[in-house]
Amino acid sequence: MKHIIILVLSSFLLSSCATTPDNQDPFMKFNRKIHAFNHDVDRMFLKPIAETYKAITPQPIDKGISNFFNNLDEVSVVVNDVLQMKLEQAASDTGRFVVNSTVGLLGFVDVATGWGLPKHNEDFGQTLGYWGVSSGPYLVLPFLGPATIRDAGGRVVDSFTDPRTYASYARDDEIKRAILKANIIDIVDTRADLMELEKVVDAAAIDNYTFMRDAYLQRREYLVYDGNPPREELDGDFLFDDE
């Protein structure tokens, strides 16, 4: 459910929801059905579990769990830093991973941010966009949510830089069960962290599907250009104001 974080955070970057061209959402009929399916799954299963988790988990533990999984993501971030030739940022993110994995107790404590090593957001979908690959049509995936053709392919590549992918291939059944439990905790923890922000989205969206689609596409464009989309993009379909 980490894709939802991108959607919700993007709402704070939008001064208004721009209209997405029809050719960017040629699968709208299909997408709306999958969007509705995902919403029902969340409403009936994931959200109630996340609400219970939020109610019984002390805030410091909740924060530590989020930090732990964010730290695992740093491996993929560093790989994509290098693929985008952002070598200085790669060095910073590597240092961040090392510091939080050691001094930060396997990432449960975010020591690195206080040491001047901020977190960055990079993935293979952004890497493809960085080198000029078009996002392609908007696509809503079952259970996984919003994507584009480019980003869906990027997620597959990013799975090969996730340490959990390789741990799940272990012959030891205990390790496999531990990875499965970790993935479930990651999903529930991420969903629980979005409870308050979800209210903002619900209040702002007349059409939830359209809002989330436009927010996702604009946020991805924003990330590809590291917060500085070309002027023609700003004046056209993707509208951003500085916070």
Percent of the chain with pLDDT over 90: 70
- Tell me what pLDDT residue 169 has: 83
Per-residue pLDDT reduced to its tens digit, 171-190:
888 888 999 999 999 999 99
Confirm if 10 and 201 have CB atoms less than 8 A apart: no
177 lies in a domain? Answer: yes
User: Which residues lie below 8 Å from residue 241, measured CB to CB, with a gap of 6+?
Assistant: 13, 14, 15
* Predicted TM-score (pTM) of this structure: 0.83
26 lies in a domain? Answer: no
Per-residue pLDDT reduced to its tens digit, 85-129:
999 999 999 999 999 999 999 999 999 999 999 999 999 999 999
239 lies in a domain? Answer: no
- Tell me what pLDDT residue 20 has: 57
Based on the structure, what is the number of domains in the chain? Answer: 1
243 lies in a domain? Answer: no
**62-73: average pLDDT:** 96
186 lies in a domain? Answer: yes
240 lies in a domain? Answer: no
Question: What is the domain extent for residue 161?
Answer: 2-14+33-234
- Residue 16 pLDDT > 60: no
21 lies in a domain? Answer: no
Q: What is the mean pLDDT of the chain?
A: 87
Give the residue, 141 or 21, on which the prediction is more confident.
141
22 lies in a domain? Answer: no
Instruction: Identify the sign of the CA torsion 161, 159, 221, 14.
Output: negative
DSSP annotation of 42 reads: I
Q: What is the residue type of 191?
A: R
